[in-house]
């Protein structure tokens, strides 16, 4: 089962950007963590990061076309990108929104995510371990075309 782990703006700077908020795990470490967790769970995990919104949209569209599950850390796009939200709404399989920090305890503008309303679930504040938990959740879900599963949520 293919699962895309998609990361938005500034996540490529993990380990150097505000380590007091995001920790010392580097982006390379995060990729390795996701790939290892995916392998352990029998998932085909593809990890990507971009600072370009149009690139993220293309990846989400491709995931929708493939009926693939997505683990998404939309970064700052969480709070204002209706384009990313609408692309997420096209997904037919699970969408787990992940935030390394607890967005609800930070600045007021970070408290609301436009993505959450179309997500299967949201994990926030558990550091990079949130990715592993999201992948475990995806691995344990029935596929959207399985009997008795009428939706991705």
Which parts are annotated binding residues?
A: 73, 79, 86, 100-101, 110
- Any idea which residue has 């992940």 for tokens? 98
- The annotated binding site for substrate is made up of 73, 79, 86, 100-101, 110
Rounded distance between C-alpha atoms, residue 65 and residue 123, angstroms: 25
Query: Would you name the residues annotated as active-site residues?
Result: 22, 99
Rounded distance between C-alpha atoms, residue 40 and residue 30, angstroms: 15
Q: Interior CA angle at 23 toward 27 and 113, to 5°?
A: 80
What are the φ/ψ torsions at residue 65 (nearest 5 degrees)? -65, -35
> Rg of the chain over CA atoms, in angstroms?
14
């Amino acid at each position: 089962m293919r699962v895309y782990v998609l990361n938005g703006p500034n996540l490529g700077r993990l380990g150097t950007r505000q380590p007091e908020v995001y920790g010392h795990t580097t982006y390379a470490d995060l990729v390795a963590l996701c790939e290892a967790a995916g392998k352990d769970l029998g998932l085909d995990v593809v990890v990507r990061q971009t600072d370009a919104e149009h690139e993220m949209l293309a990846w989400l569209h491709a995931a929708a076309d493939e009926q693939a599950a997505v683990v998404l850390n939309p970064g700052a796009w969480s709070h204002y990108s209706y384009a990313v939200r609408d692309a997420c709404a096209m997904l037919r399989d699970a969408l787990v929104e992940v935030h390394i920090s607890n967005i609800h305890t930070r600045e007021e503008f970070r408290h609301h995510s436009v993505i959450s309303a179309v997500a299967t679930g949201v994990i926030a504040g558990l550091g990079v371990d949130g990715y592993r938990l999201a992948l475990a959740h995806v691995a344990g879900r029935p596929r959207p075309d399985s009997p008795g599963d009428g939706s991705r949520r």
